[in-house]
Structure 1
Amino acid sequence: MSSGPDDLADRLRGSGYRLTPQRQLILRAVEELGHATPDEVLARVREQASAVNASTVYRTLEVLQELGLVRHTHLSDRAPTYHSTREPEHFHLVCRKCQRVRSVEPDVATALVATLRSDHGFAVDLGHLAVFGHCLDCSPGETS
């Protein structure tokens, strides 16, 4: 499920960037990790290239997002979390107690998306949506 180097190189060149080994490593790390903060991406990249620094990871994630290769959402009140756009479109459910994150298909929100469009003239970008609450395992008074 990773982007081929030729595809990445073409997209970068088309936007005036070069394909560097660091950019390849960073995109591969995002794809392998699924949902990852910049620090988690940095840790993964440093397993293969210890000379990569945090500012390179942050700048590269911004470039990859501009190119539409990664997206970010806020799954906590800390750093953004990035995921590959090669993953199917989804939104996120985040348990405030155990921090578990579940990816949910957009079909689950069809009625909400339709209502927001028709009643409020608003087109939803579900890829950035994170819904916070408690999973059934952590909900007070709930049994699983």
Structure 2
Amino acid sequence: MDTSLKGTLHKRGLRMTPQRQLVLDAVRELGHATPEQVCTRVQATAPAVNITTVYRTLDLLEDLGVVRHAHLGHGAPTYSEHQHRHLHLVCHDCGRVDEAPAELLSDVASRTRAELGFHLDSTHVALSGTCADCSGASSTTAGGGTAGTTAGGGTISTIETSTTDQNDDAASASPEAVKGDR
């Protein structure tokens, strides 16, 4: 049982329930997951838990700062643990979602803060475009991912984390952190 979550809930006059723990465990296990994927994982252990309970629990966990969501295009948001910090690169052609370090947008974040007074949360960003494979400009890296080139000439290694088919189990693998060569 997550004792820090239990303490946070208790401070707000709420209690830790088995369903809340199962939802949190599912998000942690899946890495990135839609509410439907979380529900499927939870129902493997507790078949009586329904999608409404999962949505309510995800909302509560986000309010508590335990999980965060991102919109990776059309459809349901994906949830991950709050400290899972990166931005998403979504391919228009194949639907692949790659991860990139949030620091890639540090210049944009600095400019929006200095010029507009706006503090950018680059970990809540999905950038749409065409992946290296679909654009025909891919090269394979030693780690088995693809490599892309940044505007500044650096290389970004990426890993495939999910597809547009939100019911696919591709997102069930826990993604590893991706580091750019800067």
Structure 2 length as normaliser, TM-score?
0.72
CA displacement 1:53-89 (0-9 Å, x = unmatched): 01000000000000000001101210111111132x2
User: What stretches of structure 2 of length at least 5 have no aligned partner?
Assistant: 140-182
Counterpart CA distance in 1 for 2:12 and 2:92 is 39
SS in 2 for 1:132: strand
Structure 1 length as normaliser, TM-score?
0.90
Q: CA deviation at 1:13?
A: 1.0
Q: Do the aligned residues in 2 keep the contact of 1:71 with 1:83 (CA within 8 Å)?
A: yes
Counterpart CA distance in 1 for 2:123 and 2:71 is 11
Aligned residue among 66, 84, 91 for 2:87: 91
User: What stretches of structure 1 of length at least 5 have no aligned partner?
Assistant: none
Alignment partner, residue 142 of structure 1: 137
CA RMSD of aligned residues (A): 1.4
Q: Do the aligned residues in 2 keep the contact of 1:74 with 1:130 (CA within 8 Å)?
A: yes
Alignment partner, residue 121 of structure 1: 117
Which segment is superposed worse, 58-67 or 4-13?
A: 4-13
Q: Do the aligned residues in 2 keep the contact of 1:71 with 1:127 (CA within 8 Å)?
A: no
Letter in 2 for 1:94: V
Structure with greater helix percent: 1
Q: CA deviation at 1:143?
A: 4.9
The number of residues matched between the two structures is: 139
Structure 1 runs of 4+ off > 3 angstroms? 141-144
Identity of aligned residues (%): 47
Aligned residue among 91, 100, 106 for 2:102: 106
Structure with greater strand percent: 2
Aligned residue among 10, 19, 22 for 1:22: 19
Instruction: From the superposition, tell whether residues 101 and 143 of structure 1 become closer, same or farther in structure 2 (CA, over 3 Å).
Output: closer
Q: Do the aligned residues in 2 keep the contact of 1:35 with 1:82 (CA within 8 Å)?
A: yes
Letter in 2 for 1:142: A
Alignment partner, residue 168 of structure 2: none
